[in-house]
Structure 1
Amino acid sequence: MDTVQRDPAIESLSVFDMLKIGVGPSSSHTLGPWRAVQRWLSELAEELAEESLGLHDVEHIRVHLYGSLALTGKGHATDQAIALALLGHQPETVDVAAIAAHVSGLARAGTIELVPGHTARFEMANDIVFHIDARLPGHANGMTCEATVAGEPRSASYYSVGGGFVLGADEIPGAKNFLALPHPSQSPDDLLEHCTTRDCRIADVVWTNEQEWRSIDEIRTGLSEIWAVMLEGVYSGCHTDGMLPGGLDVRRRAAPLSRRLLGGDDAPTAGEWVELIQRRDFRFAEILQWVSTFAMAVNEENADLGRVVTAPTNGAAGVIPAVLLYHVCFSEQPVTEAGIIDFLLVAGEIGTLFKKGATISAAMGGCQAEVGVSSAMAAAALAEALGGTVEQALMAAEIAMEHHLGLTCDPVGGLVQVPCIERNTMGAVKAINAAELAVASNPADARVSLAEVIKTLRETAEDMSDRYKETSQAGLAVNVSVRVPEC
């Protein structure tokens, strides 16, 4: 897998590291490079300040993309993310409807104003360089940011390691953000031990850990905002028709499916729309269609540079909202706001175990590391929400991940559309199935543990050909005939 130095003993990950509000279509190819450019500008400013210089002394900017960032960067909007970062926009707040205008304006200008009153040369067509035949040594998603100051180039390299996480060239994962937690869990066994010792749920352990970063009110508010973005993504996706951009001619399906399931009825807000669904009686087949609709809605928004939540990545952003909304709409007992927050806490914690023990990057592990991990996160959260024990929740995560092992990432045309959107529906359905199966089972009878599945994911990722890791060099990406711009 990646050759970036790893020391799992020092990683401290919050639920908010796993669930981030951002813009589609890819956390590793969009959010990661966005954050890398922001970090580089900040570090460059500090470096120049030590020499009594500043960003106003920058004459020219160039960004070099390598590996998967180069091979599928255009289809994944990496160039647009770089442009938005240079323009000073934030992924959480940028007006997604104005992204195209922002990017085209920068492309026409040929310069970038890093500080008021000073411009540096930056021609998007030439100064974002896609090195499709090269990669940096540390990770498949490598990039080098370069600035010319007083005629001399200054550069720094970064790696987008999945889920919007960024590492410097020689940085150890988690080293900068180490925090001694009351209940640190590097493995499922650690988490189980904490829960057993305290005689509590997974959510209770995570609540305690999260308070090392934030107050209780901040945790509640932050997770409520994350749920609001998830729900709005479903609602928007279920109310938007048309073709997705990029040239694949993929037609949005969530909106017509939603209309058909509701018989043409509708509601003006996401909350009222959910209530409308809750009041209806649906057959099993229709509930299954709703789960698929929820997942597709989010990922259609993601493919159209809409606002979504990395969960744990953008490419898998539809799984957790779909499973949580299934729980809200179709469970026998009403789901409270506290229940929604606990669901997200559990899902996020399970995601940290996969990031620490394996990978959440499709460029390193294929889609098993994205939709597979997301399915496991959702399965554990649903199992605990349904009243399952800690052991049953971990079993649910294991079942969901076990049946995603080996899943490749082969985006057609380098776009996060085919097969990505439908794969989220499969991940959501598997999560629900895994949770129900686990809650109805005795974990003592299980022959496979979550720890073993995480280890297997890591080993499978290491053995998988790079052609099946978000490079669009094999699988459906080469066997499906398309007419799209070169990616």
Structure 2
Amino acid sequence: MSHSMFDLFKIGVGPSSSHTVGPMVASARFAAELRDKEILHNVETVTVELYGSLALTGKGHATDVACVMGLMGEWPDSVNPDDIPTMTNMVKGSKELPLDGHRFVPFDWDTDLVFHFDKVLPEHPNGMTLTAKGDNEEVLLCCTYFSVGGGFVVEKGETDALASDFTPPFPFNSAVELLEHCGKQEKSIADIMFANELARAKAQDKKASMKTVNEQIDAIWHVMNACIERGIEQDGVLPGGLALKRRAKKLHDCIIKKDLDGLPLDTNDWVNMFAMAVNEENAAGGRVVTAPTNGAAGVIPAVLAYYNKFVSPNNVEGIRTFLAAAAAIGSLYKTNASISAAEVGCQGEIGVACSMAAGGLAAAMGATSAQIENAAEIGMEHNLGLTCDPINGLVQVPCIERNTMGAVKAINATRLALNGDGEHHVSLDSVIKTMHETGLDMMSKYKETSQGGLATNAIAINVVAC
């Protein structure tokens, strides 16, 4: 299935796409369904039950906050992150929730949000059930949702989060098919994505044009860049209890001082700072772009900022090409493997983001389709087996630093690919298959399913929570 660019890149809030963005979307969908079925006015109580990883790591990922925001009719791409604390405190204090923003119902944060720490729904580790009842405990609506990674949500019984009747002009389910389109049509990977996005936009609105698509792409980069800029301005301690200090501002100040003093600068310092700024904002619950997840949200913006600063400054077409090619790569992982750490570990987040960034950068730098595929393959090949193991289930340690490593790896993968002719022994399709099989073989304690994390005992990987 050829996914849309705007499914791989979604504007949302931190700290987690699976545990914050997904649950907010699911809860907002539930509230909207109550409204659309015209039963909202009959609701007397509403409860949320969280299972598996959503329960075990929910508090650290603000899953409870996300569910309440969604029930209030807020969506990740439009809610103001700065307003969330005030809104949640209002619900906690009044013990009332404005369902879909209109119907006030009793809501006790401690009892109407149920964490089933010892239960996992069979369909997916990230499961949640929402129930609305009327008079005499009559069940008006009960829905079970699964947050399957990258902010994607599937309701129980659905076969795909993005199922639709739309067929793009150049559908592809593998890198081989994608490259065949490029060869037959004499188009680049980005061109194939642009053509598919234009057709998708026109299917939704006949008046849509390439300008419509470009405006959406530009908005994605605008949010990414704004996140970097905000991240390098903030200091202090990140929320969550680890007392982890922000470092992006200090790193930025050090870089600027070196520059003013005429000392040599390393581009890696800039890349590290870009990635760190984004993921510190994510950890603080700020506005980010899932790329393709929140846990890996800093990799692609960091590499794109590197391109914008050091390779081709202010090249709007280059930025669009980067994001289009990166999305094509991400679509292959979403179709044939997973971008959920609960399913395949962090290789499905940092690894996929690294692969996407490498392919995107190569495309923006004028690489051939074969070189782009090679760059993407290298990006994943050296992230295979990466576990999901943050301390206390917070997207902070080692997640923030891990984004810097993913970004640096992506740039090096591009350099290696551009120094070759595109021929390589391991295909992108093969490495995607290997990543998926590795994830399925990975023991559950190395995924985001339990409490604990890296360095719980000395520096060894213990029980995991992400």
Normalising by structure 1, report the TM-score: 0.89
Give unpaired runs (5+ residues) of structure 2.
202-208, 460-464
SS at match of 2:105: strand
Task: Map 1:356-435 to 2 at 5 A.
Answer: 356-435=335-414
**Displacement after TM superposition at 1:115 (Å):** 6.1
Q: Which amino acid aligns with 1:81?
A: A
Is the contact made by 1:159 and 1:169 (CA closer than 8 Å) also made in structure 2? yes
Deviations 1:203-256 (A, max 9, x none): 111110001122311111111111011001111111111110011011100000
Tell me what 2:267 maps to.
287
**Displacement after TM superposition at 1:199 (Å):** 1.7
SS at match of 1:315: coil
1:164 corresponds to which of 108, 130, 151:
151
**Displacement after TM superposition at 1:374 (Å):** 0.3
Q: Report the CA distance shift for 1:117/1:259 in structure 2 as closer, same or farther (over 3 A).
A: closer
Q: Report the CA distance shift for 1:187/1:116 in structure 2 as closer, same or farther (over 3 A).
A: closer
Give unpaired runs (5+ residues) of structure 1.
1-10, 267-279
Q: Report the CA distance shift for 1:115/1:225 in structure 2 as closer, same or farther (over 3 A).
A: closer
Deviations 1:260-306 (A, max 9, x none): 1011899xxxxxxxxxxxxx9884x6211110100000000000000
**Displacement after TM superposition at 1:116 (Å):** 7.1
2:66 corresponds to which of 78, 81, 94:
81
> Which whole-Å CA distance do the structure 1 matches of 2:353 and 2:342 have between them?
16
SS at match of 2:99: strand
**Displacement after TM superposition at 1:433 (Å):** 0.3
**Displacement after TM superposition at 1:388 (Å):** 1.1
Q: Which amino acid aligns with 1:16?
A: F
Q: Which amino acid aligns with 1:299?
A: N
Tell me what 1:235 maps to.
229
1:97 corresponds to which of 60, 63, 82:
82
Is the contact made by 2:31 and 2:100 (CA closer than 8 Å) also made in structure 1? no
Is the contact made by 1:238 and 1:254 (CA closer than 8 Å) also made in structure 2? yes
- The answer to whether structure 1 residue 217 and structure 2 residue 211 are counterparts is yes
Runs of 4+ in 1 over 6 A off after TM superposition: none
SS at match of 1:305: coil
Tell me what 1:3 maps to.
none
2:244 corresponds to which of 250, 267, 274:
250
Bigger mean CA offset, 471-480 vs 67-76: 471-480
Q: What's the % identity of the aligned pairs?
A: 50
- The answer to whether structure 1 residue 324 and structure 2 residue 324 are counterparts is no
2:295 corresponds to which of 315, 337, 347:
315
Tell me what 1:441 maps to.
420
SS at match of 1:441: coil
**Displacement after TM superposition at 1:324 (Å):** 0.5
**Displacement after TM superposition at 1:36 (Å):** 0.4
> Which whole-Å CA distance do the structure 1 matches of 2:263 and 2:221 have between them?
24
Is the contact made by 1:12 and 1:177 (CA closer than 8 Å) also made in structure 2? no
Tell me what 1:136 maps to.
121
Tell me what 1:277 maps to.
none
> Which whole-Å CA distance do the structure 1 matches of 2:341 and 2:15 have between them?
13
- The answer to whether structure 1 residue 152 and structure 2 residue 138 are counterparts is yes
Deviations 1:100-120 (A, max 9, x none): 111111111212122677421
Q: Which amino acid aligns with 2:35?
A: A
- The answer to whether structure 1 residue 195 and structure 2 residue 195 are counterparts is no
Tell me what 1:26 maps to.
16
Deviations 1:12-31 (A, max 9, x none): 41000000000000011011
> Which whole-Å CA distance do the structure 2 matches of 1:282 and 1:178 have between them?
58
Q: Report the CA distance shift for 1:221/1:134 in structure 2 as closer, same or farther (over 3 A).
A: same
SS at match of 1:177: coil
Normalising by structure 2, report the TM-score: 0.93
CA-based RMSD: 2.0
Tell me what 1:467 maps to.
445
Bigger mean CA offset, 93-102 vs 19-28: 93-102
Q: Report the CA distance shift for 1:95/1:43 in structure 2 as closer, same or farther (over 3 A).
A: closer
Tell me what 1:452 maps to.
430
- The answer to whether structure 1 residue 63 and structure 2 residue 48 are counterparts is yes
- The answer to whether structure 1 residue 107 and structure 2 residue 101 are counterparts is no
Is the contact made by 1:362 and 1:470 (CA closer than 8 Å) also made in structure 2? yes
